[in-house]
Amino acid sequence: MGHRKGLRTCLAAVCFMPVMAAGLTDVSVSGQEADTPPPHLIQTVTNQDLYEGMLALGFLENALPEAEESEAVYHAIKDSIVRISMGDAYGSGMIWEMTPGRIVVVTNRHVLDCLQNETALITFPVGRTVPAEVLGVSQESDIGFAAVVNSQFPYEELEQLRYVRKDLEAFALKQPGDRIFSVGAERADGGKVTERCYEGSIGDMWRYLEDFGAYMIYGYGFAKAGMSGGGVFDAKGNLIGMLSGTNGDGMIAAVPLSVMLEAWEELK
């Protein structure tokens, strides 16, 4: 990595055995020196070091679910789902990338377009809401990116967040009929915003949809208003797409992961 910042260094204790040979005697410490305690050692690894070490080792990527069930998948990926809001309007997003200096969130372009000139506020799974900077949007696809600086969080909270798993090999293996899980923020009764996970299946991994003017993942499932920008995951917790729309009658549309990666490469 070029440096070892952020990694704990294990100092192993070395045991020295006395040398006993003809004509030699065991030299031991006697008197007050034998009772002198060792000097105090101080912790030289900071919370920032720990966070950056976890990043370098990939420990902040979404964990694999314990089972291929909606509750297990949701538990594995919930710490990567965020809510993006402006006044009473809101949408969903995902933690796309984490670095030592910032967190990048991906969402739909139409979610960011709704913000107009207002400040985008992002609420993270740790319960902290912070202002964000819009990095840019794709002109070809319903994709946009925003970022927040890490200095707005204590490192103990940063260590609890997770970024989505982006496995193109797993994405390429998806077939019609495979199970998918749509996760995002929805508005429940009383105006309270919560996150939900709905199970569905793939209809077509690459279908042209006139409403979006693009090739999308066409799926069978469920989504509610406010879940735009949330994730579509496979049963292993891998991101395969981003929710963009639903007809309210069991059909969903999602931007494919491959398109999301292309948009990010063009923007960064």
Tokens 């990527």: give the residue. 61
The model's pTM is 0.81
Beta-bridge mates of residue 186: 194
The DSSP H or E segment spanning 73 is helix 70-77
- 96: exposed, middle or buried (Cβ count in 10 Å: 0-12, 13-18, 19+): buried
User: What's the rounded Cα separation, in Å, for the pair 118 and 207?
Assistant: 34
Instruction: Please give the structure tokens belonging to residue 161.
Output: 């967040």
Beta carbons of 112 and 137 less than 8 angstroms apart? yes
CATH topology of domain 70-158: Thrombin, subunit H (2.40.10)
What CATH topology corresponds to 168-267?
Thrombin, subunit H (2.40.10)
The full set of domain ranges for the chain reads 70-158, 168-267
pLDDT in tens for each of the 268 residues of the chain?
A: 444 333 333 323 333 333 333 443 443 444 455 567 666 655 677 999 999 999 999 999 998 888 888 888 889 999 999 999 876 778 999 999 999 999 999 999 988 887 665 678 899 999 899 999 999 999 899 999 999 999 999 999 999 999 999 999 999 999 999 999 999 987 655 555 577 899 999 999 999 999 899 999 999 998 888 899 999 999 999 999 999 999 878 899 999 999 999 999 999 8
Q: Do domains 70-158 and 168-267 have the same CATH topology?
A: yes
